[in-house]
Amino acid sequence: MIKKPFVTLDLVKNITEKYPTPFHIYDEKGIRENARNLKKAFSWNKGFKEYFAVKATPNPYIMQILKEEGIGADCSTIAELVLSEKVGLRGSDIMFSSNVTPKEDFIKASELGAIINFDDITHIDFFNQFLDMPDTVSCRYNPGGNFEINNQIMDTPSEAKYGFTRKQLTEGFLKLKSLGVKHFGIHAFLASNTIKNEYYPKLAEILFETAVELQKETGVHIKFINLSGGVGIPYRPEDEPSDIFVIGEGVREAFERILVPNGMGDVEIYTELGRYMLAPFGHLVSKLIHFKHTYKEYAGLDACAANLMRPAMYGAYHHITVLGKENEPCDHMYDVTGGLCENNDKFAINRMLPELEIGDYLVIHDTGAHGFSMGYNYNGKLRSSELLLRENGEVKLIRRAETLDDYFSTFDFSEFFKK
């Protein structure tokens, strides 16, 4: 698949007259179309709902767009809960899937009426010490072992810190039932960034079978099954993108085969996608400010790993397009770097690109999720602005860039030498 940016050189030149690089920019049109397709793919399920994983792109303007598309919020911290509250989400529009949860976070989630998804059996008593159990509660399941699709290991749940064991799930449901809970949910997240269409259907099969067992063992009403996040996107041009309609159909097939014959055809399907909802619809736009010719050819950008951590942290591939040179041959090899004093601050290693010049604008693709949000301030590098390319072509500032004053705002300098 050819990876084409949603911005042009002319547009970026226009933008930089007002908002200098680096910046993250998001594509409203793409976000809305994708959200509508997800809903269409699961429209066979009456109660289907997507809860956007706020941690992927915690920006109220983005959350507002998703809210207009009928999407809720999946939160795991008090800050994410407050953001959701700010955009007017409440009650069953919020899923609280957190772990190692502090008391204050449970209190805030409870105040908003969010659906609580317990990560651990001990959290039931912890919660119940200071809060009343709501009518509807969910538990996160970890089946342990390896998670395989067609004999290929996708991930190792037994090494993951999340969720209840199978035995704890039964115990937990019985306990919650005795505490007055009426409706139950089951949640699991077993593999991340999976572009195989089989991921959700396989996960659904595991959860549907577990739901049938739990219903028989405990007699509770299972209201929903939450397939969580994990549907991936094609970061590399050669990756085969997943097909949300094939995925939705695969889940439907498992639903008809496992839940319906057991009288559980009223179960609602929920998702907590982050990456799939936003990653392709964000770019990090940066300017080439230095070359360096030593043992390798280095192209130095005004962005760094503080703006996009994934390459440094996971060795993740992010495609790069040089604006205005989309049709030129990629016949030069570069390491594309940022300016952190960390040798892993490289957006690309040995990447073939068109011949670069100082002042070129580079688009780093697929930064709309887990991009800005994983940013940090190492070396005192400041967080960039975030911009929104609206459907009508206008560009709106949806978060200003940090300033040095922001960076220093947690110090009290008054005790120090004054000029």
Ligand X SMILES: *Cc1c(COP(=O)(O)O)cnc(C)c1O
Give residues in contact with ligand X (CB under 6 A): 53, 55-56, 74, 76, 97, 189, 192-193, 228-230, 272-276, 369
Q: Which is nearer to ligand X, 246 or 401 (CB)?
A: 246
Q: What is the nearest approach in angstroms of ligand X to the Cβ of residue 234? A: 14
C-alpha angle 34/40/45, rounded to 5°?
A: 135
Q: Which is nearer to ligand X, 53 or 303 (CB)?
A: 53
Closest CA to 93 of 114, 76, 68: 114
Closest CA to 272 of 188, 354, 197, 334: 188
Q: Which is nearer to ligand X, 188 or 353 (CB)?
A: 188
CA distance 364 to 338: 12
For residue 117, the surrounding DSSP H or E stretch is strand 115-118
For the chain, give the number of residues: 419
Closest CA to 203 of 214, 222, 221, 187: 187
Q: Which is nearer to ligand X, 136 or 192 (CB)?
A: 192
CA distance 277 to 57: 10
Strands 23-27 and 282-293: antiparallel
Please tell me whether the peptide bond between 22 and the residue prior to it is cis, using omega within 30 degrees of 0: yes
Q: What is the nearest approach in angstroms of ligand X to the Cβ of residue 64? A: 19
Q: Which is nearer to ligand X, 30 or 339 (CB)?
A: 30
Q: Give per-residue burial for 56-79: e unless 16+ CB within 10 Å, then b.
A: bbbbbbbbebbbebebbbbbbbbe
Q: What is the nearest approach in angstroms of ligand X to the Cβ of residue 371? A: 11
**Look-up of token digits 């049709």:** 327
Q: Which is nearer to ligand X, 194 or 307 (CB)?
A: 194
Q: What is the nearest approach in angstroms of ligand X to the Cβ of residue 15? A: 27
Q: What is the nearest approach in angstroms of ligand X to the Cβ of residue 357? A: 36
Q: What is the nearest approach in angstroms of ligand X to the Cβ of residue 74? A: 5
Q: Which is nearer to ligand X, 74 or 360 (CB)?
A: 74
Q: What is the nearest approach in angstroms of ligand X to the Cβ of residue 359? A: 34
Q: Which is nearer to ligand X, 74 or 366 (CB)?
A: 74
Q: What is the nearest approach in angstroms of ligand X to the Cβ of residue 261? A: 29
**Look-up of token digits 């809720």:** 72
The shares of helix, strand and coil residues in the chain, as percent rounded to the nearest 5, are: 35, 25, 40
Q: Which is nearer to ligand X, 193 or 215 (CB)?
A: 193
Torsion, Cα of 151, 280, 20, 374 (10° steps): -40
Q: Which is nearer to ligand X, 76 or 321 (CB)?
A: 76
Which residue's CB comes closest to ligand X? 229
CA distance 36 to 49: 12
DSSP string, 187-230: E----SSB--TTHHHHHHHHHHHHHHHHHHHH--EEEEEE--S-
Q: What is the nearest approach in angstroms of ligand X to the Cβ of residue 335? A: 28
Q: What is the nearest approach in angstroms of ligand X to the Cβ of residue 76? A: 6
